[in-house]
Amino acid sequence: MISLVDFIEKQKCLEEFNTKMYNLADFYEKLKKLKDESFKTDDFVLIPYYIQNKKRLELYYCELNIRVVERIDREKLLLNKTGKRDINEIQNDVIKRYEMCCIEILNNEISKENILKYIRIYIFK
């Protein structure tokens, strides 16, 4: 099984702003063609961005945050991310966004489909 970082680092990148930046549309197309159905990964964050007028605009509201955990606990994750004390205090649209952008995984393995789904929903809406 290939590691997510190895797969990403094999993609063409642009180095600007002291950061390696990858074209997400190209990444998406190569990911769709990949025969492997899952990746090995450690904790991982992918932050989409736009470049406009030679400035990088990072889209933190829809960053993909993959966390390796011993036990999946969506409620705890949502409470930690939002700073709320009760799940009922969190608006449904916020819950939906975090459910797509914050993925907890076991055994350091994430499915290719989870990543493709994230890109389709947040990048290619």
As averages over each run of 10 residues, the pLDDT of the chain (125 residues) reads 92 83 89 93 89 81 90 91 93 88 92 91 71
Q: What 8-state DSSP symbol labels residue 11?
A: S
pLDDT of residue 115: 93
The answer to whether the beta carbons of residues 7 and 33 sit under 8 Å apart is no
Looking at residue 125, what is its pLDDT?
Answer: 63
β pairing state of 49-52 and 55-58 = antiparallel
The region, left, alpha or beta by phi > 0 then psi within -120 to 50, assigned to residue 111 is beta
CB hemisphere CA count around 66 (13 angstroms):
21
CA dist., res. 62 & res. 19, Å (int): 19
Q: If residue 111 lies in a helix (H) or strand (E), which one and from where to where?
A: strand 109-111
How is the chain split into domains, by residue range?
4-122
With beta carbons less than 8 A apart as the criterion, state whether 11 and 27 touch: yes
| pLDDT score of 73 | 92
Distance CA 44, CA 21 (A): 15
